Amino acid sequence: MGWVRSSHLGWLAKLRTAGGAVGGVPPGAPGALALGCRSSPPQLPARPSSAERGKVMDRNPSPPPPGRDKEEEEVAGGDCIGSTVYSKHWLFGVLSGLIQIVSPENTKSSSDDEEQQMELDEEMENEICRVWDMSMDEDVALFLQEFNAPDIFMGVLAKSKCPRLREICVGILGNMACFQEICVSISSDKNLGQVLLHCLYDSDPPTLLETSRLLLTCLSQAEVASVWVERIREHPAIYDSICFIMSSSTNVDLLVKVGEVVDKLFDLDEKLMLEWVRNGATQPLDQPQEESEEQPVFRLVPCILEAAKQVRSENPEWLDVYMHVLQLLTTVDDGIQAIVHCPDTGKDIWNLLFDLVCHEFCQSDDPPIILQEQKTVLASAFSVLSAIYASQTEQEYLKIEKVDLPLIDSLIRVLQNMEQCQKKPENSTESNTEETKKTDLTQDDFHLKILKDILCEFLSNIFQALTKETVAQGVKEGQLSKQKCSSAFQNLLPFYSPVVEDFIKILHEVDKALADDLEKSFPSLKVQT
């Protein structure tokens, strides 16, 4: 992992001060600011005891195997945790070792021992990693809860400076929170909640990743989601930390998970979304534009854009979450203004989404079924483009004549693929999976319907803005061929009849033969013209 660019060093120190120092990597120490850099500074050496630290899912050792000796098994029978083969005695030993690590006599040390505190003993790392794996089992998670393990982990997070140990402790809590009873218990502990939120100020990507995963798990539990939303609202520095991660990190796993947290927060609480949208503005949104020579500067939207660009560089299909965040912003007026009133950012967002829908997703050489994989990201992307197009047609980047025809071509192509996807298979013989298929089709139809509604509204808005010159160019270049116009009309009629009728009138002036052919295919139009 690279270093975060040096211009952010002072900012991160302020963030730690604002949020309260709860451990993590001290400024200037090896491994500090390892969020991943978007420039190209020197790379950090790997930690000897954590060579696999960069891997998230497959780096932990398997839990200890059961004893093979029959007599030992009989003796250990009462030592098992629930219905598992895991030993209570062994687990007690590991947790006791954790307590010793953060005991006062071990935490008081000279500066010479500071580097040693950053490392985790290999044997202890292996054992605590086994606990991490074991905590995915509900019996083990409940036993850890009964043994007050969350309090032990809280002590570690509050006192330990070892990034690997902090990551593992948050990871175990994240596994435990997957079970509702434990999630409620963890969420009701105010002190633990404070410590966990402070982990968002950490500079270690794996710790940030596990913290984000834990937060997302809790926010997904309806019973406790509001508790976490309020806590986050009470800590303004969390906004700064999340913006910093989105704008600076090159760790795509972290960016996606943080994006999911932001998406969930905005989906749960519109008020919080508005607060974050307004943060960083140089002037209030309700201040008349003529009273200020400069447009407001919004921090959130540029940070979202930076994160989206970084995610796209690795895999465009992971963009779904950031596209949905932008879509949520367009559901409120302040959100739309935050996008279109920031000239450079608005143009960059438009260009990014325009490139995605016109040159990346659902292309002419892709099989129509690809739409099933891309329907949600396309719905969000087209929705944001439509909102920008409808709200700020005076922007220079929307006045370019080349915008309308490529968008029309892309919109119609997606609609044509949708027609192919919605065709039901003939002579299905697998009756045993009939109910499952019906459920899948219902879900697919729901998402495809949402996409279709967005496409048709956007297409109608573009049709209304078409000039005679643009229609003539579209007919000549093929974007407005008879086949494509027919596909568009099939989806726009009857809800957008006035739009189609006005388009036909323009088409009569450009290509009367084509207009007459379309009127024959759609008789209801000839009566109106």
pLDDT digits (tens, 9 = 90+) for 356-376: 999 999 999 999 999 999 999
Per-residue model confidence (pLDDT) at position 14: 42
Q: Mean pLDDT: which of 11-25, 114-128, 328-342 is highest?
A: 328-342
> What integer is the mean pLDDT of 477-490?
95
> What integer is the mean pLDDT of 340-349?
83
Q: What angle do CA 241, 244, 250 make, to 5 degrees?
A: 125
Is the pLDDT assigned to residue 275 strictly greater than 80?
yes
Per-residue model confidence (pLDDT) at position 120: 86
Right CATH number for 88-100+120-232 from 3.20.20.70, 1.20.1250.20, 1.10.10.10, 1.25.10.10? Answer: 1.25.10.10
More confident residue, 349 or 395: 349
Per-residue model confidence (pLDDT) at position 106: 62
What average pLDDT is seen over the chain? 81
Is the pLDDT assigned to residue 332 strictly greater than 70?
yes
Structural domain spans, the chain: 88-100+120-232
More confident residue, 90 or 16: 90
* Per-residue pLDDT reduced to its tens digit, 441-465: 455 688 899 999 999 999 999 999 9
The answer for residues whose C-beta is within 8 angstroms of residue 177's C-beta and 6 or more apart is 183, 186, 214, 217, 218
> CB–CB of 271/335 below 8 Å?
no
> What integer is the mean pLDDT of 466-495?
94
Residue type present at position 220: S
> What integer is the mean pLDDT of 342-351?
85
Is the pLDDT assigned to residue 501 strictly greater than 50?
yes
Is the pLDDT assigned to residue 21 strictly greater than 80?
no
Per-residue model confidence (pLDDT) at position 30: 32
Which pair of tokens denotes residue 247?
A: 């704008």
Per-residue model confidence (pLDDT) at position 429: 46
> What integer is the mean pLDDT of 97-104?
83
> CB–CB of 456/383 below 8 Å?
no
Per-residue model confidence (pLDDT) at position 154: 96
Is the pLDDT assigned to residue 399 strictly greater than 80?
no
Per-residue model confidence (pLDDT) at position 403: 82
Q: Which residue has the tokens 């009566």?
A: 527
Band (421; pLDDT cuts 50, 70, 90): confident
**Distance between CA atoms of 273 and 267, rounded to whole angstroms?**
8
Band (422; pLDDT cuts 50, 70, 90): confident
Per-residue model confidence (pLDDT) at position 298: 44
> What integer is the mean pLDDT of 108-121?
64
Q: Which of 65, 62, 182 is closest to 133 using CA atoms?
A: 62
CA distances to 207, 218, 290, 382 from 262, rounded to whole Å, are 17, 13, 33, 20
Per-residue model confidence (pLDDT) at position 83: 85
Is the pLDDT assigned to residue 202 strictly greater than 50?
yes
Lowest mean pLDDT among 100-114, 269-283, 386-400, 490-504: 100-114
Band (65; pLDDT cuts 50, 70, 90): low
Kindly report the backbone phi and psi dihedral angles of residue 312, in degrees, each rounded to the nearest multiple of 5, phi listed first.
-60, -35
> What integer is the mean pLDDT of 201-210?
96
Q: What percent of the chain has pLDDT over 90?
A: 61
Per-residue model confidence (pLDDT) at position 418: 92
**Distance between CA atoms of 458 and 359, rounded to whole angstroms?**
18
Per-residue model confidence (pLDDT) at position 281: 56
Is the pLDDT assigned to residue 503 strictly greater than 70?
yes
Q: 338: buried, middle or exposed (CB in 10 Å: 19+, 13-18, 0-12)?
A: buried
**Distance between CA atoms of 407 and 213, rounded to whole angstroms?**
37
Is the pLDDT assigned to residue 282 strictly greater than 60?
no
> What integer is the mean pLDDT of 330-352?
88
Q: Which of 124, 62, 133, 73 is closest to 99 using CA atoms?
A: 124
Report the half-sphere exposure of 296 (CA within 13 A, side-chain side): 24
Per-residue model confidence (pLDDT) at position 407: 95
Per-residue model confidence (pLDDT) at position 112: 52
Residue type present at position 136: M
**Distance between CA atoms of 58 and 52, rounded to whole angstroms?**
9
C-alpha dihedral sign at 179, 320, 257, 268: negative
Kindly report the backbone phi and psi dihedral angles of residue 197, in degrees, each rounded to the nearest multiple of 5, phi listed first.
-65, -35
